[in-house]
Amino acid sequence: MPTLELDDLAGEGEAALVARGSAYAREYARIQGQQTTLLKNLAVVIVSLRIQRGDLRGASHEYRQIVADMYRAAGIDPDNSTNLQSAVRWHIGNLLRRAATPRELERADLKPTSPLERLQDARKVDAAIVKAAKVSAAADAAKSSRKKGTKTEPDVGAAIKATADHLRLAKVAADVLGKLDRHVITKDMADGQRKALDRELAAMERKIASLRKLTAPPAKG
């Protein structure tokens, strides 16, 4: 389909332009739907090839050559198929996590979570961090107000709010910690990054231990 210029449509009236625009939009929507199906089907083919060759990761030279030949037979130069391969990789990743067992994924050094799950987790992490920042800011503001002796609300109300803030902060902190991925820590992090994370976790442990001395129920007897 040739790309239009404004001069090409200079002689068309409003009704003709609207009809042309509707046709283009309809064709675009049709192609988009077909693209998704074709990408998913291509992913099934590629995962099938990996399973047949016992190469779930698709890292061997033989497998890569087969896929390159497949693209070349379709008239697609592998060196210029970045967008296609990136789009297919998403579906491959999701399909692999449904087709392989956790042990098979581990042997292939693949993350146990799919690209879709990682995207969802990333969004949850972002939301947890934003929530933590908001709750922390609210708690800091209340604490500052109490220190200055500001009478913006009754003392009983301030105590109730401070109590609720502390419970919310603890819940948010637990949520954020729960988002740490074991695979990322063991497989993706460099040694220096793991050491840095370990220092942060150790500091958390000390702070938690200090706070738990205040929350632990008194010993009986």
Amino acid identity, position 188: D
Is residue 79 pLDDT above 70, yes or no? no
Query: In which band, very low, low, confident or very high, does the pLDDT at 202 lie, cut at 50, 70 and 90?
Result: very high
Query: In which band, very low, low, confident or very high, does the pLDDT at 60 lie, cut at 50, 70 and 90?
Result: very high
Cα 180–182–185 angle (5° rounding)?
85
Query: In which band, very low, low, confident or very high, does the pLDDT at 121 lie, cut at 50, 70 and 90?
Result: confident
| CB atoms closer than 10 angstroms to residue 87 | 17
Query: In which band, very low, low, confident or very high, does the pLDDT at 218 lie, cut at 50, 70 and 90?
Result: confident
Percent of the chain having pLDDT more than 90? 16
- Check residue 55 and give its pLDDT: 92
Mean pLDDT across 82-111:
87
Is residue 150 pLDDT above 60, yes or no? no
Q: How far apart are CA 20 and CA 58, in angstroms?
A: 44
Asked whether the whole model's pTM tops 0.75, one would answer no
